[in-house]
Chain A
């Protein structure tokens, strides 16, 4: 009799477990994903606006990213601003807001081979964050521009991504031509 009772108890608890795991909804899986699909680097010189866009809507796997570059004018000063978006949401989620709010844990790094001079103009209070920049071009030519966002870098640092440590949240490269 005891055995049967225990078997019964186990059976009941089995049912409880099973019913517990049945209360989820089929259709909201994979939603609310923190995904950065798009990096926009908007440059204006007062008259013209150039948007460098790096976009990969289907995530890490799937089809290759699309990269839209622009042509900069030689010997010009631009004001630059970064925007990180998740365009799988509607409306698109602006992840830059979170990065700015946690500016002390984030920093953008800019490196290029196109003779650009980029200066970070915003701070987290003490150290640069790099969402806002000024960019000045030199002579005509071409090269590439790489933008890196580090999470939890050493701050302050020597200004290079390589020595800042942290983990990389964004790393995108644009071909650049200057006329």
Chain B
């Protein structure tokens, strides 16, 4: 492996003279920890005695005339950590000493800025400086800056990341190596992640994700913690952010203590509060939010072994636009036609109804040990608890009771063995056991959208990474997952028979009837296979070519199987089916990249073919006591999604940098020869930054983002009778909002007002020209405009 070329060994024995007998000999042999191969030419020095030698062609060395007593040795190199060993010398001694020359691994994230998750994967990263920019926003907002990544929004605070038009259960979000399970199936369920707790975020567009799951149809988002250098240090930072839109902000603090011994600990906490946000022409009543997040880490890191324990807590209270609570299809028509929200009040910090209250606890412990002549064995245990309460506008005693109250608990154990004893081959293999329980809390006084269930998963995988030669690498992997879901759901008996379930699934019927409802126990087992192939080749000075193929299979999520009922905020009846089967995706992605500061680019075309693509589409109208509602049903079609992401960077002049990106995407329902619903439209962005490193690292930039109107959408418009006026009305739920262009301004500078540390000050303006616009992928686009201008001041103090 190329790591062999980075070779480091600095060895020293500190020998304390506490005896007179100084005729001992210490012979040693230096070998590689990984494959036991000998290490030639390592320099060995006993500092106290001014003894110095090097290992010979056999990897051996001899130190003569040593005295009896304690012997301490130390290893050091520019790119290596220091290691100490102590011997008690009482006779002539021979020791085989294994040296670590893969040490750059330990610090690769510290040392290199452009480390990839896997050599052959196609991915983009957000670094800490970008993450800091989004300190008071959400994960989805930050990811939105990456080409090919968009978001499905509910208002402006609930932002679900979308890669190549796919979201929710099709994206794996890996937070500190733990796969997030936070009821991610819902369109208005944003990831419960505090962006401030992360150091780096990678978006893996290729299918190189087998270690985490077989169902990454859309891709993978890796939220990565920092690896700390092994030294005695205490440092931290505090970031404050203030905003004119929403009259709110955020304060985030983190403090890190590292020790020479390899131990480290980190504490981080974050508080965010906003009042009602404002569109250019009116306040968006009840869109405030309040978040409290905290995380802590403690761990130990050495080359041979280490552990990392992490706990994070996220508490989000998010107001949802008051005007989006509507009664029936006629209310929806009014909202669409009025163009202005029906409730506009003055600014307030109150968060009333509708709103979401969410808690997410995540805890994990990971430990690893390296074995001579084999590799690295790691084990991770994790547990998550997600409690989601959704409050709606209700009457009487029910006013303060949530309409949805679900508690999801997930725990898993994941051992992984990385075999790196071979020169040009690395093998990762492991397995996973996971248990999940969903508990639909009683006493909501509403139909439970997602039933109680238990889910069991077992998975195993093997991934090979082969260095073909100096410049090209190949990776291949395979994964198998078994999953079983055992649910308990009450169906209205007439529904059960109308859906033909009495014929298809008689075994689920328990026979217990309570009033009109039948208690059923649906149980499903899925076997999923997935595989991927990756190839990368570097050529020229800074060009590289990458190719990924992935086969991914995803079992239907609980909402696709079980949902059935009125979804208030969407003013629609959503129906899932027990007959929904898994979906299978074949993903192809290419990338041609040039990594250069002066002129660089990446061009990544992709093609996905998804069999049994599960989508939620309008299918008709249902009359209820509240009037008529559109019915949205889950169905499965064969789909394809293809497109291209292009990024360019160029140095225009010595202090001016240009960046641009373009994303084009087309999604087709091949079964019905229709465009797919809710696909991102073509968009592009440009930015120019002036930077002056001699003057407070001053940066001044302007940026522009244009989102074109989505002209390819399936037409699910319909007409319905308005009984009040006895007239047919046209319900335009499909037409998309027009194109829009937003400009932004940003500036930042660094000052050193203290003896130690620094202060970064930033001032930014979003939506500079206060444009009124609506975004097609915002679920509240029927009800109100998106955000108007925002002035933002950020101060980050590093200490």
Chains A and B bind each other: yes
- Cβ of B255 < 8 Å from any Cβ of A? no
Q: Quick check: B334 and A17 within 8 Å, CB to CB?
A: no
Against A, the Cβ 8 Å flags (1 = close, 0 = not) of B545-574 are: 000000000000000000011100000010
- CB-based nearest B residue for A54: B625
- Cβ of A167 < 8 Å from any Cβ of B? yes
Q: Taking A30-B517, A109-B724 as contacts, is the C-beta distance between A167 and B442 under 8 angstroms?
A: no
B415–chain A nearest beta-carbon distance, Å: 12
Give the one of B326, B409, B515, B724 with max A CB within 10 A.
Answer: B724
Q: Which of B364, B381, B443, B575 contacts A32 (CB 8 A)?
A: B443
Interface-lining segment among B225-233, B487-495, B772-780: B487-495
Interface-lining segment among B1-9, B88-96, B444-452: B444-452
Q: Quick check: A32 and B383 within 8 Å, CB to CB?
A: no
Task: Provide the bound-state CA to CA distance between A112 and B595, in Å.
Answer: 71
- Cβ of B437 < 8 Å from any Cβ of A? yes
Contacts of A161 in B (CB 8 A): 724
A144–chain B nearest beta-carbon distance, Å: 7
- CB-based nearest B residue for A168: B327
- CB-based nearest A residue for B407: A21
Against A, the Cβ 8 Å flags (1 = close, 0 = not) of B476-501 are: 00000000000010101111001000
- Cβ of B423 < 8 Å from any Cβ of A? no
Contacts of A39 in B (CB 8 A): 625
- CB-based nearest B residue for A98: B396
Q: Quick check: B623 and A65 within 8 Å, CB to CB?
A: yes
Which residues of A (22-79) have their CB < 8 Å from a CB of B? 24-34, 36-37, 39, 54, 56-65
Q: Quick check: B625 and A61 within 8 Å, CB to CB?
A: no
B671–chain A nearest beta-carbon distance, Å: 25
Q: Quick check: B326 and A167 within 8 Å, CB to CB?
A: yes
- Cβ of A179 < 8 Å from any Cβ of B? no
- Cβ of B439 < 8 Å from any Cβ of A? yes
Task: Provide the bound-state CA to CA distance between A168 and B327, in Å.
Answer: 4
Q: Quick check: A102 and B396 within 8 Å, CB to CB?
A: yes
Contacts of A95 in B (CB 8 A): 395
A94–chain B nearest beta-carbon distance, Å: 12
- Cβ of B440 < 8 Å from any Cβ of A? yes
B570–chain A nearest beta-carbon distance, Å: 13
Contacts of A92 in B (CB 8 A): none
Interface-lining segment among A119-127, A132-140, A170-178: A170-178
Contacts of A151 in B (CB 8 A): 327, 393, 395
- CB-based nearest A residue for B385: A17
Q: Which of B328, B440, B575 contacts A29 (CB 8 A)?
A: B440
Against A, the Cβ 8 Å flags (1 = close, 0 = not) of B305-340 are: 001010000000000000001111011001000000
Task: Provide the bound-state CA to CA distance between A60 and B394, in Å.
Answer: 17
- CB-based nearest B residue for A7: B365
Task: Provide the bound-state CA to CA distance between A65 and B629, in Å.
Answer: 14
Contacts of A165 in B (CB 8 A): 334, 342-343
Q: Which of A10, A24, A166 contacts B381 (CB 8 A)?
A: A10
Contacts of B540 in A (CB 8 A): none
Q: Taking A54-B625, A113-B726 as contacts, is the C-beta distance between A34 and B309 under 8 angstroms?
A: no
- CB-based nearest A residue for B305: A3
Q: Taking A7-B381, A32-B445 as contacts, is the C-beta distance between A65 and B625 under 8 angstroms?
A: yes
Task: Provide the bound-state CA to CA distance between A29 and B449, in Å.
Answer: 12
Q: Quick check: B394 and A34 within 8 Å, CB to CB?
A: yes
Q: Which of A28, A31, A65, A111 contacts B724 (CB 8 A)?
A: A111
Q: Taking A10-B365, A63-B494 as contacts, is the C-beta distance between A17 and B723 under 8 angstroms?
A: no
- Cβ of A99 < 8 Å from any Cβ of B? yes
Which residues of B (618-634) have their CB < 8 Å from a CB of A? 622-629
Task: Provide the bound-state CA to CA distance between A161 and B446, in Å.
Answer: 26
- CB-based nearest A residue for B322: A152
Q: Quick check: A24 and B307 within 8 Å, CB to CB?
A: no
Q: Taking A24-B442, A102-B396, A144-B726 as contacts, is the C-beta distance between A3 and B365 under 8 angstroms?
A: yes
- Cβ of A146 < 8 Å from any Cβ of B? yes
- Cβ of B251 < 8 Å from any Cβ of A? no
B266–chain A nearest beta-carbon distance, Å: 15
A141–chain B nearest beta-carbon distance, Å: 14
Q: Which of B437, B515, B626 contacts A169 (CB 8 A)?
A: B626
- Cβ of A160 < 8 Å from any Cβ of B? yes
Q: Quick check: B393 and A167 within 8 Å, CB to CB?
A: yes
A157–chain B nearest beta-carbon distance, Å: 12
Task: Provide the bound-state CA to CA distance between A26 and B510, in Å.
Answer: 14
- Cβ of B363 < 8 Å from any Cβ of A? yes
Which residues of A (1-20) have their CB < 8 Å from a CB of B? 2-3, 6-7, 9-11, 13-14, 17-18
Task: Provide the bound-state CA to CA distance between A162 and B565, in Å.
Answer: 26
Task: Provide the bound-state CA to CA distance between A64 and B492, in Å.
Answer: 13
Contacts of A21 in B (CB 8 A): 407, 409, 437, 439
Q: Which of A31, A32, A62 contacts B498 (CB 8 A)?
A: A62
Q: Quick check: A61 and B565 within 8 Å, CB to CB?
A: yes
Task: Provide the bound-state CA to CA distance between A34 and B447, in Å.
Answer: 9
- Cβ of A88 < 8 Å from any Cβ of B? yes
Q: Quick check: B445 and A33 within 8 Å, CB to CB?
A: yes
Contacts of A13 in B (CB 8 A): 363, 383
- Cβ of A148 < 8 Å from any Cβ of B? yes
Which residues of B (356-414) have their CB < 8 Å from a CB of A? 363-365, 367, 381-383, 385, 393-396, 398, 407, 409, 411
Task: Provide the bound-state CA to CA distance between A167 and B325, in Å.
Answer: 7
Task: Provide the bound-state CA to CA distance between A160 and B195, in Å.
Answer: 48
Contacts of B498 in A (CB 8 A): 62-63
B327–chain A nearest beta-carbon distance, Å: 3
Against B, the Cβ 8 Å flags (1 = close, 0 = not) of A143-161 are: 0101010111000000011
Q: Quick check: A58 and B629 within 8 Å, CB to CB?
A: no
- Cβ of B725 < 8 Å from any Cβ of A? yes
B471–chain A nearest beta-carbon distance, Å: 39
Q: Quick check: A162 and B365 within 8 Å, CB to CB?
A: no
B222–chain A nearest beta-carbon distance, Å: 22
Q: Quick check: B445 and A6 within 8 Å, CB to CB?
A: no
Q: Quick check: B411 and A168 within 8 Å, CB to CB?
A: no
- Cβ of B526 < 8 Å from any Cβ of A? no
A34–chain B nearest beta-carbon distance, Å: 5
- Cβ of B427 < 8 Å from any Cβ of A? no
Contacts of A98 in B (CB 8 A): 395-396
Q: Quick check: B564 and A61 within 8 Å, CB to CB?
A: yes
- CB-based nearest B residue for A148: B724
Contacts of A17 in B (CB 8 A): 383, 385, 409, 411
| A-B contacts besides A6-B307, A30-B447, 13 pairs, CB < 8 Å | A13-B363, A18-B409, A56-B625, A59-B565, A61-B492, A62-B494, A62-B498, A146-B726, A162-B334, A167-B331, A171-B625, A172-B625, A172-B627
15 A-B residue pairs with Cβ-Cβ distance under 8 Å, sorted by A, are: A10-B363, A17-B383, A18-B437, A26-B488, A58-B492, A58-B493, A64-B623, A65-B623, A111-B726, A151-B395, A167-B393, A168-B626, A169-B626, A170-B625, A171-B628
**Top 8 closest A-B pairs, CB basis?**
A168-B327, A171-B627, A98-B396, A167-B327, A146-B723, A173-B723, A3-B367, A62-B492
- Which A residues are within 8 Å of any B CB, using their own CB? 2-3, 6-7, 9-11, 13-14, 17-18, 21, 24-34, 36-37, 39, 54, 56-65, 88, 95, 98-99, 101-102, 109, 111, 113, 144, 146, 148, 150-152, 160-162, 165-173
